[in-house]
A and B are shown apart, each in its own frame.
Chain A
Amino acid sequence: MTTDVRTAAGPPAAPPPRRARRRGRTDWGRYYTWAVLAWLFAPIAFMVAFSFNDPAGRHNTTWQGFTLHWYRNAFAYPDLNDAMANSLTIALLTMVVAGGLGTLLGLALGRFSFRGKQLTNLVMFAAISAPEVVLGAALLSTFLMMNVTTGYWTTVVAHVMFCVSFVAITVRARVITLDPRLEEAARDLGAGPWQTFRLVTLPMLFPAIMAGGLLAFALSIDDYIITTFVSGDVTTFPLWIWGATRVGIPPQVNVMGTLLFAVGLIMAVVNIALARRRGGG
């Protein structure tokens, strides 16, 4: 990505005509933007670098020497592995359930007008903007009063609850831009309502559904605050890290963080490449 930007930075790289008069000036905005990006990536660079560190004591904060030891022993802590497995399965379940419910909701909001639409928007808005502490505390209060034991499934329920609105918004945005004539054409060609939905509407919505689902996955796997309230004795990856801070975080955590980041990076690059090809083709 750095090379991309360098080629774009070349001064005579055909600036749009209106900005021609600015050609001679230094583009401070570019340096500024990169400086802020450097700030955003600083702790991540630190995390990646220190996954290769060979620390002397329990605290992995000063550079001692390069090692691949932690990658070879990435799964040395059974508790940590369990926590990671919990995080991944909870995120997958959330992606599927919130993805499904959110898609239906987004479809209804984008396509139909119905009684209670305003109220639905209000509730979604409230669920998105309410602080996590409030969502977690409210759920825990209710679980306590109903004598529900908190654990794995209460966590899934909570994650679906706070992700569903995000999926709905993503899908709604796409539904609004769909050309209704395509569906009409399908009807005219003899497709029934279900066939039209399956063969025309759904494929067109697919990118938005995927985006919403991935968003739900990302929100779920990252969540700490709500999870602390509703997870009971079950530990997820962020909760395990939090628990480990008192005794010193093992470098395996940096390894897993780095691997997750690498997966995200690959998905992002593939996504850009696909978008470019689709746009170009």
Chain B
Amino acid sequence: MRNRKLTPYVLVLPAWTWLALFFVVPIGGMLSLSLTTGNVITGFQQTFAVGNYATAIGDYWEQILRSLSYGACATLVCIAVGYPMAYWIAFRGGAYKSTYLLLILLPFFVSFVLRTISWRAFLSDNGVVLGPLKDIGLLPEGFAVLNSAPAVVLGLAYNFLPFMVLPIYAVLERMDPHLVEAAHDLYANRVHAFTRVILPVSLPGVFAGVLMTFIPTSADYVNASVLGGTHNTMIGNVIRTQYLVNNNYPIAASITFVLMGLLLVGIFTYARALGTERVMEVHA
């Protein structure tokens, strides 16, 4: 009997230790680092310098706002593009549902960085797409897609689209088809059946999708570096540079915390507005 009671703790212990040591403790470590002052040469002293946060926000509010708006735009693109696709696969995919899902996931076998760089080559100013269009005079000679805000947003949407499609598909697939039948029996037309029955049922899936696209897109810096040129840097680029190039760790840690806080506030506001409770269960 005693054994049985201990079993779950024994099972959980190794993973818990790992997550505690390398996830929970480091978040605390970063918090502590964000309140220090000093530099790489003299070392960093804990001075509870709350001013670091003022510096972080004051110097980088532009990149912060840009990141959040790029993330929001990319998320909207993902919903607009992904919802109809998830809908079609769930309701009309028939025997090939799993094949379609696999096709959506297959691009992941090519490295994220490589796919993004492929986009850059694909869309380059005189590359395989723009080159011929310019040759036949459809586009002016100076036309460019790269190094613009839309290029970054579309790159982000491209890279994270599957994370929107899969959760929406999952709720629609589980949905009881009798609900739609009942709506039709009660004289709902197709628009009403969608807006009053299907859409509300699918909202938890959309929520999970938003969570899984908005967070990583707002914090990404790969797309901004590869597709955005020098004028579209996001907060991720700043964090990376401050940590790895400037070694300005306290400010870097502060910016990271500001980003984390803003994302948390955003997600919880959205959860409240949507009325989706038990956020975690939806996600898992």
Contact = CB atoms under 8 A, between A and B. Distances in A.
A229 B243 contact: yes
B150 to A, nearest CB: 15
Given A33-B88, A225-B221, A272-B102, A141 B33 contact: yes
Nearest to B184: A18
A168 to B, nearest CB: 7
B26 A131 contact: no
Residue among B12, B111, B263, B283 with max Cβ neighbours from chain A (10 Å): B111
Interface string A102-129: 1011011101111010001111111111
Nearest to A157: B22
A62 B100 CA distance: 31
Contacts of B249: 141, 144
B126 to A, nearest CB: 7
A241 interface: yes
Given A125-B284, A142-B29, A133 B219 contact: yes
B273 interface: no
Given A107-B11, A108-B8, A133-B240, A139 B26 contact: yes
B5 to A, nearest CB: 9
Given A37-B103, A50-B121, A272 B283 contact: no
Contacts of B219: 131-134
A247 B7 CA distance: 55
B106 A264 contact: yes
A238 interface: yes
A101 B72 CA distance: 35
Interface residues of B, number: 89
B109 A264 contact: yes
Contacts, number: 252
Interface stretch (B51-59, B136-144, B191-199, B252-260): B252-260
B111 A221 contact: yes
A3 B110 CA distance: 24
A160 B181 CA distance: 46
B148 interface: no
Contacts of B8: 108, 111-114
A62 B284 contact: no
Contacts of B104: 37, 40
Interface string A67-104: 00000000000000000000000000000000011101
Nearest to B22: A161
B11 A105 contact: yes
Majority SS at the chain A contact face: helix
A257 B111 contact: yes
A206 interface: no
A101 B14 contact: yes
B26 A129 contact: no
Residue among B99, B113, B263 with the highest chain A CB neighbour number at 10 A: B113
A260 B18 contact: no
Interface string B29-66: 11011000000000000000000000000000000000
A168 B25 CA distance: 20
Please list the 8 inter-chain residue pairs (A to B) with the smallest Cβ-Cβ separation, ordered nearest first.
A264-B109, A131-B219, A43-B118, A29-B88, A142-B29, A112-B8, A108-B11, A138-B26
Interface of A: 1, 4-5, 8, 18, 27, 29-30, 32-33, 36-37, 39-44, 46-47, 50, 59-63, 100-102, 104-105, 107-109, 111-114, 116, 120-135, 137-142, 144-145, 157-158, 160-161, 164-165, 168-169, 193, 218, 221-222, 224-225, 228-229, 237-238, 241-242, 245, 249, 253, 257, 260-261, 263-265, 268, 271-272, 275
